[in-house]
């Protein structure tokens, strides 16, 4: 079991890493205040492992810490071995649900019934929340926010590349768009083509990376399923940072995290009567982190977080990033075929990728629920 006194870290950490460590421990300490035990959603990744390490340090070596994970038979998605090893390393009591395809399919109706706005995300939170609540937990911590604050997404590299290519191509952008539009419908290349035909703003570059549908596709879907003619989006955003990676961090926090991850995490944890807390999405932590220069905080590979929490084992930070994912694509070819088939047949735009099919399927379910 690993605990690290702050006085030891003071001698070993750089100034920025020490500031980050102090802010992280203070945030975790505040989020552990509870009249009931607080558990942790533990994947095989850096963020949840950092939470576990910090929790162990805050509570001490004798505290009973509970961790929870969804595992799979598919090794491409399964992180149970890494998480189990990590939990043992920090002396946590670990519980996992090794979910089969049939069990996943059985959760879909109740999951969709809990959806308040259409989303392609949140099923992972629904399932791991059900597991934690079944084991008697009422409060849990999630590592949500680590990717946004410490450059954990591929968007931190690709969005600045898209933005730079828009400038470099100049009058060749239209030609590049025409070439990209020869790629199959429903592929990310089509969003990049739309970006090259636009105004080259940061938000357009971000949407080319993070979006699901182009603006024209989204307008067609809105008109088909909601009977509304969508106006063209305003791609201009004020008060963006000067550093390109800081711009991406702003967009990830204000778009993906705020509009999707936080909303879904709240909805699907509360659906099981579980209070989900996010120590990495904390106002005072944000104030400390934003004082650190972007070229230090947003280094590739979450280096600042790794420096601030050196207890993170090498078997966690030396593996490729996978995220908290489910084997949806293979499942959908079997158990969810009818649901996706209807979406593909009724959609006015080609869907192709599983996440586009799932987005339309979830929207159809929401529309039906509202009509009842």
Residue 132 lies in a domain: yes
Is this model's pTM higher than 0.75 or not?
Answer: yes
Task: Beginning with the edge strand found earlier in the chain, give each strand of the sheet holding 139-141 in spatial order.
Answer: 93-98, 66-71, 38-41, 139-141, 275-277
> In percent, how much of the chain has pLDDT > 70?
90
Q: What would the mean pLDDT of 236-255 be, rounded to a whole number?
A: 93
CATH of the domain at 126: 3.40.50.620
What gap in Å lies between CA 38 and CA 19, rounded to an integer?
A: 25
Structure confidence at residue 236 (pLDDT): 82
Q: How many domains does the chain have?
A: 1
Q: Is the pLDDT of residue 354 over 70?
A: yes
Three-state DSSP at 292 gives coil
The pLDDT mean for the chain works out to: 89
User: Which helix or strand (DSSP H or E) is residue 69 part of?
Assistant: strand 66-71
Residue 244: its H or E element: helix 244-251
Least confident of 38-47, 133-142, 341-350: 341-350
* Owning domain of residue 41: 6-151+270-324
* Residues 302-332: tens digit of each pLDDT: 999 999 999 999 999 887 765 555 666 666 6
Q: Is residue 10 part of a domain?
A: yes
pLDDT of residue 199 exceeding 90: yes
In a domain, 260, yes or no: no
In a domain, 142, yes or no: yes
pLDDT at 208: 94
Answer yes or no: is pLDDT of 288 > 70. Answer: yes
Q: Is the dihedral of CA 56, 72, 108, 354 positive or negative?
A: positive
* C-alpha–C-alpha distance, residues 186 and 354, integer Å: 10
The model's pLDDT over 134-178, given as tens digits with 9 standing for 90+, comes to 999 999 999 999 999 999 999 999 999 999 999 999 999 999 999
Asked if residue 75 has pLDDT above 80, the reply is no
Q: What is the pLDDT of residue 55?
A: 98
pLDDT value of position 73: 81
pLDDT at site 43: 92
Would you say residue 268 has pLDDT above 90?
yes
Query: 3-state DSSP: the chain helix, strand, coil percent, rounded to 5?
Result: 60, 5, 35
pLDDT for position 34: 95
Indicate the pLDDT class of residue 10, thresholds 50, 70 and 90: low
Length of the chain: 372
Residue 66: pLDDT band (50, 70, 90) is very high
pLDDT of residue 120: 80
pLDDT band at 185 (very low <50, low <70, confident <90, very high): confident
Distance CA 255, CA 230 (A): 19
pLDDT above 90 (res 339): no
Does residue 32 belong to any structural domain of this protein? yes
Is residue 346 included in any domain, yes or no? no
pLDDT at 225 (0 to 100): 81
Question: pLDDT band for position 370 (50/70/90)?
Answer: low
* Token digits of residue 309: 């929490």
Q: Which residues contact 59 (CB under 8 A, 6 or more apart)?
A: 32, 65
What pLDDT sits at residue 206? 96
Q: Check whether 5 has a pLDDT greater than 80.
A: no
Give the 3-state secondary structure of residue 302: coil
Residue percentage of the chain with pLDDT more than 90: 63
Least confidently predicted of 181-185, 230-234, 284-288, 353-357: 230-234
Does the residue 229 lie in any domain? no
Residue 335: inside a domain, yes or no? no
Determine the pLDDT at residue 109.
83
Mean pLDDT of 278-300: 96
């Amino acid at each position: 079991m690993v605990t690290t006194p702050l006085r030891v870290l003071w001698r070993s950490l750089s100034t920025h890493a020490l500031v980050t460590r102090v802010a992280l421990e203070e945030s975790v300490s505040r989020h552990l205040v509870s009249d009931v035990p607080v558990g942790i959603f533990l994947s095989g990744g850096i963020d949840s492992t950092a939470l576990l390490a910090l929790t162990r340090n805050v509570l001490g070596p004798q505290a009973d810490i509970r961790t929870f994970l969804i595992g799979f038979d598919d090794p491409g998605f399964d992180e149970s071995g890494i998480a189990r090893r990590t939990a043992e390393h920090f002396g946590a009591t670990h519980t996992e649900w090794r979910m089969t395809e049939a069990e996943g399919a059985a959760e879909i109706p109740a999951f969709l019934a809990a959806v308040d706005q259409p989303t392609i995300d949140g099923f992972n939170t629904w399932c791991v929340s059900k597991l934690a609540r079944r084991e008697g937990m009422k409060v849990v911590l999630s590592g949500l926010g680590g990717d946004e604050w410490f450059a954990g997404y591929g968007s931190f590299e690709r969005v600045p590349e898209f933005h730079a290519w828009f400038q470099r191509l100049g009058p060749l952008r239209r030609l590049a768009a025409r070439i990209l539009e020869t790629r199959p419908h429903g592929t990310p290349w089509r969003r990049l083509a739309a970006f090259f035909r636009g105004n080259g703003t940061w938000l357009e570059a971000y949407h080319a990376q993070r979006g699901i549908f182009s603006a024209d596709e989204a307008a067609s879907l809105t008109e088909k399923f909601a009977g509304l003619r969508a106006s063209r989006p305003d791609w201009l955003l004020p008060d963006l940072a000067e550093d390109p990676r800081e711009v991406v961090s702003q967009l990830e926090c204000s778009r993906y995290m705020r509009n999707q991850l936080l909303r879904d995490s709240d909805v699907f944890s509360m659906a099981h009567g579980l209070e989900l807390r996010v120590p990495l999405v904390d106002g005072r932590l944000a104030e400390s982190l934003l004082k650190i220069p972007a070229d230090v905080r947003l280094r590739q590979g979450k280096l600042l977080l790794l420096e601030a929490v050196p207890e993170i084992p090498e078997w966690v930070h030396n593996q490729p990033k996978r995220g908290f994912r489910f084997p949806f694509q293979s499942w959908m070819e079997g158990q969810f075929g009818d649901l996706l088939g209807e979406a593909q047949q009724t959609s006015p735009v080609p869907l192709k990728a599983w996440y586009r099919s799932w987005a339309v399927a979830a929207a159809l379910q929401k529309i039906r629920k509202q009509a009842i």
